[in-house]
Structure 1
Amino acid sequence: MMRNYLLCLFYLFSVTVFSQNKLEVFFDFNKDVPNELSQIKINQWVLEHKNAEIIRVLGYCDSVDDSEYNKELAMRRINTMITFFKDNAVKISDKVELKAFGKDFDYSKNQSENRKVVVFYTEVEVIIPKDVTVESDFQLTQLSTLVAEEKSTLASKFDKAKKGDLIRINNISFYFNSEKVMQQSEPILEELYQIMVANPKLRIEIHGHICCNPNPNDTKLSYRRALVILKYLTKKGIPVNRMNFKGYGSNDPIYRLPERNEKERAANRRVEILIVAKQ
């Protein structure tokens, strides 16, 4: 009864506001991939801005090289960010504006400040009066919680599996456009290691999959991500002859591309373990 009352208060007294904001992403000299600090920043941004919609993306370069080359580099930086947003299920407006600048803008005297992409986005904000209490059901589920749930069930999945089975592992998240595992996901890899230790006859093949990318030949990232899991296990002492790895890109989706919603994208963006041998 009290719960229903609180829900009514939430909908009656909350105010929905559409705000326009911007995100600045910085790049190293002559690179079209965000620098390390910006990679951390944009991954955190994705977690904190579930209701964002990208409406405008502007690309810039420093004053080195000619305007034509700089404009081409600025556009590559824009495309890198668009790919990132698609891979992370960030909504992009159908009328999104993409504009690259060569040398036709006001430069900062600090060259590193010119190597950037500026992303403009709108966001739905629900403003709740301070005297209205909202239960935790309204809070966004954090990655660490999902990882804990996945870890708690992983050993059971392997216990029940037989040779030839595929075990899907969700919530192994990586930093932007890289094979570096985010810190919040490391407990899952540790649990996989413990499973390999507890089952010395177990041999596996690690499969990497991505979502959203319609190019069937673009398998490099999924290949590198599967490899980094294998390297994690070998570094901790698991013999390499007990493992193999493959990267499938988006060639083996659970849901047909383009995915219709985040649930389908999340399902396609996964790691799977093929049981090669088990005793």
Structure 2
Amino acid sequence: MKYFFCFLLFSFSVNAQTMSSIYFKHNSAELNAVSKQKLDSISRLKSKFKLKIYGNCDTSGNIELNQKLSEKRVLAVSNYLKNRLSDNLKIVEEKGFGDQKPINDNSVEELRAKNRRVDVFIEKVFMPHEKILRKTPPSFVKTSIEMMKVKDTFLLPTVHFIGGRSVWLPEGKTELQKVLTVLKNNPTIKIELQGHICCDYENFDGEDLDLKTYNLSFTRADAIRQYLLKAGIDGNRVVAKGFGHLNPLVYPEKTEADFAKNRRVEIVILEK
């Protein structure tokens, strides 16, 4: 199974929330130089943020040992940050999940290495009633090719998925067929499918109930990519990425309407 790269930022620009992943060697909780550099970048943030630190392992050891190792990794990150944080930054949660929340299937070392990590979530502290409302992107199939520009973002407003799965509901079939037609009629266009979820704040991404991995935003985007490839679109023209809950249209989410807006797949024009 393909894996998803988490966001690793040395110089942070945080609007509502972002995340940095700290990776570890097998059976180790020791921070390397690259990890310390990432944590130093977090400690230098100037605005008011709260931090959540979650530890993970691959499946090499037994459940008990992996749980303890994930907690040691959380402690290593937490202790390093606590010695450097200013008053505007506060750690509000620390938790180890052992090997229970993989973002990959542990089938090969390259994938296992991405599960040996600590995720540091960085969330803006909002004032009461403060809210981010981003403009909803236009529909891909309702926008003429002439109006599309490279780096433009478009929405698939009728493509919705079964909860916890990368299977879309029947109402999305017509729109996806139109996406396919657009790509077939315009063979120079290359796109990126970007998956997003809502409201799962103990994970970067949601759980794919079929795969038992925590990369639902990616698997949903990739399901659309696989549909397009099976219909004859060249794989080099379509990229799939997952962004978890880190790029919401609405934040904080308060209502079902907010949740619905953030559960989405967007299309970004890469080449035209």
Q: TM-score range with shorter-chain normalisation?
A: 0.3 to 0.5
| Structure number with larger C-alpha Rg | 1
Q: Give TM-score scaled by structure 1 length.
A: 0.43
